[in-house]
Chains A and B, each alone.
Chain A
Amino acid sequence: DIQMTQSPSSLSASVGDRVTITCRASQPISNYLNWYQQKPGKAPNLLINGASSLQSGVPSRFSGGGSGTDFTLTISSLQPEDFATYFCQQIYRTPYTFGQGTKLEF
C-alpha cells in the first residue's frame, strides 16, 4: 500500500494567518493527490483535485501544489469556517489511502 504522511498532525493558528499543510507519499504518485476538509459530524468535502485543481465552489484562498511524492495545501488567509481537519488522499493506485489528518485549531 502507498502510505500517506501528513504534517503537522495539529496546527494552532489565527484568523488571517497563512498556513501550509504537507503530505508525503511513500512512492511517486504523479498528481493523483486530493485534499479534503472535514468538520465534526460531517462527511469530508473535496477541496483540491489532481494536486492543484480547485474544486468548483471552493474559495480561492485554498491552493494545492506538488507532484511525485511531496504535496502542499495552503490557505492564504484563514477564515473562522476553515477550522477543521484536513486529509490528503492518493488515488494513483488501489487501495486508495488517506493521510492521518491535520487538525487546524485556534
Chain B
Amino acid sequence: QVQLQESGPGLVKPSGTLSLTCTVSGGSIGSYYWNYIRQPPGKGLEWIGYIYYSGTTNYNPSLKSRVTISLDTPKNQVSLKLSSLTAADTAVYFCARRGVGPTGFDYWGQGTLVTVS
C-alpha cells in the first residue's frame, strides 16, 4: 500500500522559507508525477506544482518565482521550498501522486499545517 507522509516545521516567520519533505513508502518514485497542493484554512485547493520522476518540473505561475520542488530518488522523497513567505501562505500543504494520462491524484499525504507568523 502506497503511503505519503509530509514533514516539516509547522511555524515559519514572515519573509522566511518553508521547507517540506514528502516521504513515499510502499512504492517507488518512478513513472509518476509528484505534486504539492495547499489549502488555506476553510478555503479551497490550490495546485502548487509537480515534479516528474525524470526531474521535469512545472509550477503554478502564481507561485513560480518562489517555488522549488525537488526529488531525492534513493530516499523516495519529494521536497518543497517556498520562499518570501507572507501570512497568505498559511495553509495545509499536501503532497500527492498522479500517473500519466487523464488520471487524478490517487494517493495523498495527510497534510501538514504551516502557519506564517
Binding site for B on A (CB under 8 A): 30-36, 42-46, 48-51, 55, 87, 89, 91, 94-101
Contacts and interface: CB of A to CB of B under 8 A. Distances in A.
A100 B44 contact: yes
Chain A, interface SS category: loop
A96 B104 contact: no
A44 B45 contact: yes
Contacts of A30: 102
A55 B106 contact: yes
Contact of B105 (A34, A48, A101): A34
21 contacts: A34-B105, A35-B104, A42-B110, A43-B96, A43-B111, A44-B94, A44-B105, A46-B105, A49-B103, A49-B104, A50-B103, A51-B102, A91-B98, A91-B102, A94-B58, A97-B47, A98-B44, A98-B46, A98-B47, A99-B44, A100-B44
Given A95-B60, A96-B35, 8 more contacts: A31-B102, A32-B102, A34-B103, A55-B104, A91-B103, A91-B104, A94-B60, A96-B47
